Chain A
């Protein structure tokens, strides 16, 4: 029993080790793949998906889904670029970008809980609405600005040095915060209850409508934060960026052991899921595999991860 539950917890982690081991076998790649500099690149490449996966973990654990994340990231990064253009102070820009993300989440949550509609439908609609709004806001082109400290958050002054970019630390801090919230607060436990059995949660007096709205709003704030990192990486607000990114984010959460039907999922798992995706991309590039091959590999990994997870579930049930 104990070894089994330990194995269940380690599952995604073993997957990560396996993927790293895979790319460490060919000698021509190993030399660079296993360096700290490459590790730093992988971490930096993970930041946006990882922060998005934090929000998505909340939503998926509660039994929901959000397909509008890519659009939300584009929208918030355009908002950020416009505000920098107008000379707003950095702290205000950060707050406004996160608030814009939370606003989109609030709309999603209010529509889902208030109109009692499927999250899939609402957020599929919002995917178009928010993308359109981003293009409208940016005048249908990228929004450029002169300079901002925000540009430095996804790089380090010395690429070969030990220091990590600020974005990686932000993601790490957000992950710890989310894990604590999911575990230690009443709100966090109600997210699990909602995903596990919504009728029971209601019966026991959980304010399901309010909790749902709050879940999508908090998740939206995370997507806004991811938009900020997107802005920092591109150094411009691009309304056409991050198309389909929500699928990578959902995949990371699912590879991390969450169940699409709700009630299950961990922050650690989702973070490892995000890392697995980044390692696969990075490794494939260094192997010189064409992008279409990477796409196939990542697709197979998603299916394999969920299949293995189901086997594990069936055995422990």
Chain B
């Protein structure tokens, strides 16, 4: 079939981070083209470039033989490229038909032609086999699967030539997934090209005609899905050299200090069993959305657990508040440094001592000098590049901010560290320092749970590695028992 979309040499940098180095993809008309890659391989950036969310720094895009460089999402839609995001973008208060027809309402002199609008919405839904949906009901009241269909129907209204779907099944039940696949096949029969992003290789095997693998911002392979094994895809996804960033540390483990049995928290964390001993670093790997963050949040008491038990140093500690978590010896580092982890407008000192602010007060008066000297000690010991403890955290670099966030756990002091993506978005130099710090904690006999999306980090740092998939902790084995290959296979749910 003729080439619908051709990308070659696409580059895109965000500050110092090169998100896309050299990506070339070719997509035929009416095919399902799978785009696969690890977390952070550049899939989302590529799709943003394609759907007009941001402009590429270099490279060429052609749509049906004519140059294609959308300035915004609206222009992309007009040219026939539409994206269905992982987070749905419906107007929840509006009815089904209003959502489908939004921005293109049939009208005469400003007066809405309701009958015509509904007919067109009905027709768009009918193309998907969903013309039984109640057009007048609020879109927000439908299930995720149905909302997705409404969004696809809206995209169909503009007669798309390329439809991008980002992890469309991540929150769907099996039956809904099947129905969605039927819809996608139908679209392809009508000549629409679908770019399908998924971590679930079995879906790709069933649905896609061809694939492209992205790794570290580069397209590293593409071909026919038929005749390619899942193992081959995984090898393309993870094959990379591991740099020597990680401190050498003899594995040691003392008494069990954290014992989790059957922990549940809502629909995102369905089942987790885990034990961690003093002096041990346990990694939690898995894909984005697999429930890793939910696990540590529930452990710390930030999210309410709905089942299971947590035992901390021999004492039952199920269902606590974060305040009780601190007092029980837990320290939690948020993956979201800027919005949750730190108070950016406040000083290094205030950020460092907040959980134990009461200790710096006498009769309600804060001992500022005591706070600043405590923080000052950590600035020195962790090598934080700051003018002093009174400097606002917002003025520090990402790596130094993260050190301040860690200083809070050390100052309290925590005995069991729950670290969620501790090196996300920070420079290599700070990374090495943070790795050294974490290794030092283990040497001192503290326990560390390290959630990370970056496999080399998990392998470089951890004594044991747990893998989560779709809300369940599926396996926890010593590091030596895993290969990157087998770990990725466990994360995507295939036998390697």
**Inter-subunit contact A203/B93 (CB<8 Å):** no
Cα–Cα, bound, A206→B74 (Å) = 10
| Distance of A192 Cα from B98 Cα, bound (Å) | 10
Residues of A within 8 A of B93 (CB): 192, 195-196, 263-264
By a CB distance below 8 angstroms, the chain A residues around B110 are: 185-187
Indicate if the CB atoms of A189 and B105 lie closer than 8 Å.
Answer: yes
Contact of B92 among A202, A204, A263 (CB under 8 A): A263
- Residues on the B chain within 8 Å of A186, using CB: 105, 107, 110-112
Interface residues on A, range: 20 to 34
Given A192-B94, A200-B89, decide whether A206 and B102 contact each other with a Cβ distance below 8 A.
yes
How far is it, in angstroms, between the C-alpha of A186 and the C-alpha of B102 when the chains are bound? 9
Which residues of chain A are within 8 angstroms of B77 by Cβ–Cβ distance?
A: 203, 205
A193 touches B141 (CB 8 A): no
Q: How many A-B residue pairs have CB under 8 A?
A: 68
**In the bound complex, how far is the Cα of B103 from the Cα of A268, in angstroms?**
26
A203 cross-chain contacts in B, Cβ below 8 A: 73-74, 77, 89, 103
A197→B110 CA distance, assembly (Å): 21
Q: How long is the Cα–Cα vector from A200 to B103 in the complex, in angstroms? A: 10
Within 8 A of B (CB), among A46-98: none
Q: Which residues in window 181-232 of A have CB below 8 A to B?
A: 184-189, 192-193, 195-197, 199-206
**Interface contact B91-A192, CB-CB below 8 Å:** yes
Q: How far is the CA of A169 from the CA of B91 in the complex (A)?
A: 35
Q: Does A317 contact B (CB under 8 A)?
A: yes
How distant is A182 from chain B, measured CB to nearest CB, in Å?
11
Q: Does B175 contact A (CB under 8 A)?
A: no
Q: Verify if B69 is at the interface (C-beta below 8 Å from A).
A: no
> Is A189 a contact partner of B104 (Cβ separation < 8 A)?
no
Report whether B112 and A200 are in contact in the complex, using a CB–CB cutoff of 8 Å.
Answer: no
Q: Is the CB of B89 within 8 A of A206?
A: no
Q: Are A196 and B92 in contact (CB under 8 A)?
A: yes
Please tell me if the beta carbons of A201 and B103 are within 8 angstroms of each other in the complex.
yes
Enumerate chain B residues within 8 angstroms of A206, measured Cβ to Cβ: 102-103
Give which listed residue, B73, B94, B111, B140, contacts A193 with CB less than 8 A.
B94
Q: A152-193 interface mask toward B, CB cutoff 8 Å, 1 = contact, 0 = none?
A: 000000000000000000000000000000001111110011
Give the contacting residue for A201; candidates B91, B107, B111, B141; CB below 8 A.
B91
- Of residues 73 to 100 in B, which have CB atoms within 8 Å of A's CB atoms? 73-74, 77, 89-94, 98
* Complex Cα–Cα for A199 and B110 (A): 22
For B102, list chain A residues within 8 Å (CB): 189, 193, 200-201, 204, 206
Per-residue contact bits, chain A 277-314, to B (CB 8 Å; 1 contact, 0 not): 00000000000000000000000000000000000000
Q: Is B403 part of the binding interface, using a Cβ–Cβ cutoff of 8 Å?
A: no
Q: Which residues of A have CB within 8 Å of B103?
A: 201, 203-206
A195 to chain B: which residues have CB within 8 Å?
93
User: Is A205 within 8 A of B104, CB to CB?
Assistant: yes
- Other-chain residue from B90, B98, B140, B154 in contact with A189 (beta carbon distance below 8 A): B98
Q: For B102, B104, B105, B110, which residue has the most chain A Cβ atoms within 10 angstroms?
A: B102
Cα of A204 to Cα of B77 in the assembled complex, Å: 9
In the assembled complex, how far is the CB of residue B104 from the closest CB belonging to chain A, in whole angstroms?
7
Could you give, for residues 257-299 of chain B, a 1 whenever the CB lies within 8 Å of some chain A CB and a 0 otherwise? 0000000000000000000000000000000000000000000
Closest residue on chain B to residue A262 by CB atoms: B93
Residues 338-388 (chain B) with a chain A CB within 8 angstroms: none
Measured between C-beta atoms, what is the minimum distance from B306 to chain A in Å?
Answer: 18
Chain B, Cβ-Cβ closest to A261: B93
* A135–B342 CA distance with the chains assembled, in angstroms: 47
- Rounded to whole angstroms, the CA-CA distance of A192 and B91 in the bound complex is 9
Q: Write out the residue numbers on chain A whose beta carbons fall within 8 Å of the beta carbon of B104.
A: 204-205
Interface mask (A235-272 → B, CB under 8 Å = 1, otherwise 0):
00000000000000000000000000001100000000
Q: How far is the CB of A306 from chain B (nearest CB, A)?
A: 17
Contacts of B112 in A (CB 8 A): 184-186, 188-189
Return A197 CB to nearest CB of chain B, in Å: 4
- Which chain B positions have C-beta within 8 A of A205? 74, 77, 103-104
Which residues of chain A (115-143) have a CB below 8 Å from chain B?
Answer: none
Q: How far is the CB of A47 from chain B (nearest CB, A)?
A: 28
CB nearest neighbor in A for B107: A186
A206 to B463 Cα, complex, angstroms = 54
Closest to A185 in B: B110
- B91: nearest chain-A partner, CB-CB: A196
Question: Contact check: which of B91, B111, B141 meets A200 at CB < 8 Å?
Answer: B91
Q: Which of B105-163 contact A (CB under 8 A)?
A: 105, 107, 110-112, 114, 140-141, 154
Selected contact of A199 from candidates B89, B98, B107, B114, CB within 8 Å: B89
Give Cα distance in the complex from A117 to B334, angstroms: 30
Collect the chain B residues with CB atoms within 8 Å of residue A189's CB: 94, 98, 102, 105, 112
Closest approach, in angstroms, between the C-beta of A97 and any C-beta of chain B? 25
Complex Cα spacing A263 to B95, Å: 11
B111 touches A197 (CB 8 A): no
Q: Which residue of chain B has the shortest Cβ distance to A199 in the bound complex? A: B89
A203 and B83 CA atoms in complex are apart in Å by 11
Contacting A at CB under 8 A, from B312-338, are none
Alpha-carbon gap, A200 to B110, bound state (A): 21
In the complex formed, the residue of A with least CB distance to B100 is A204
Taking CB atoms, residues of chain B closer than 8 Å to A202 are: 74
State A184–B103 Cα separation when bound (angstroms): 15
**A205 closest partner in B (C-beta):** B103
Give the Cβ gap from A183 to chain B, nearest Cβ, in Å: 8
A206 CA to B98 CA, complexed, in Å = 13
A263 touches which of B91, B111, B141 (Cβ 8 Å): B91
Least distance between B354 CB and chain A CB atoms (Å): 28
Bound-state CA distance A193–B105 (Å) is 12
Q: Write out the residue numbers on chain A whose beta carbons fall within 8 Å of the beta carbon of B141.
A: 316-317
B146 to chain A, nearest CB (A): 15
How distant is the Cα of A317 from the Cα of B77 in the complex, in angstroms? 31
CA distance A95 to B207 in the complex (A): 64
What is the CA–CA distance of A264 and B138 in the complex, to the nearest angstrom? Answer: 11
Task: Please name the residue on chain A nearest to B151 by beta carbon.
Answer: A200
Cβ contact within 8 Å between B111 and A184: yes
Q: Given the complex, which residues of A lie within 8 Å of B114, measured CB to CB?
A: 184
Give, as a whole number of angstroms, the nearest-CB distance from B78 to chain A: 8
Within 44-91 of B, Cβ neighbours of A (below 8 Å) are at: 73-74, 77, 89-91
- A20-60: which have CB < 8 Å to B? none
In whole angstroms, how far apart are the Cα atoms of A316 and B111 in the complex? 31
- Per a CB cutoff under 8 Å, which of A187, A200, A264, A317 touches B90? A200
Closest residue of chain B to A264 (Cβ to Cβ) is B93
A148 to B154, CA, bound (A): 55
> Across chains A and B, which 3 residue pairs bring their CB atoms closest together, nearest first?
A204-B103, A263-B93, A196-B91
25 CB contacts below 8 A, A to B, read: A184-B112, A184-B114, A185-B111, A185-B112, A186-B105, A186-B111, A187-B110, A189-B102, A189-B105, A189-B112, A192-B93, A193-B94, A195-B93, A196-B91, A197-B91, A200-B102, A201-B103, A202-B74, A205-B74, A205-B77, A205-B104, A263-B91, A263-B93, A264-B93, A316-B141
| New A-B pairs, 10, CB < 8 Å, besides A263-B91, A263-B94 | A184-B111, A184-B112, A184-B114, A185-B111, A189-B112, A192-B98, A193-B91, A196-B93, A197-B91, A264-B93
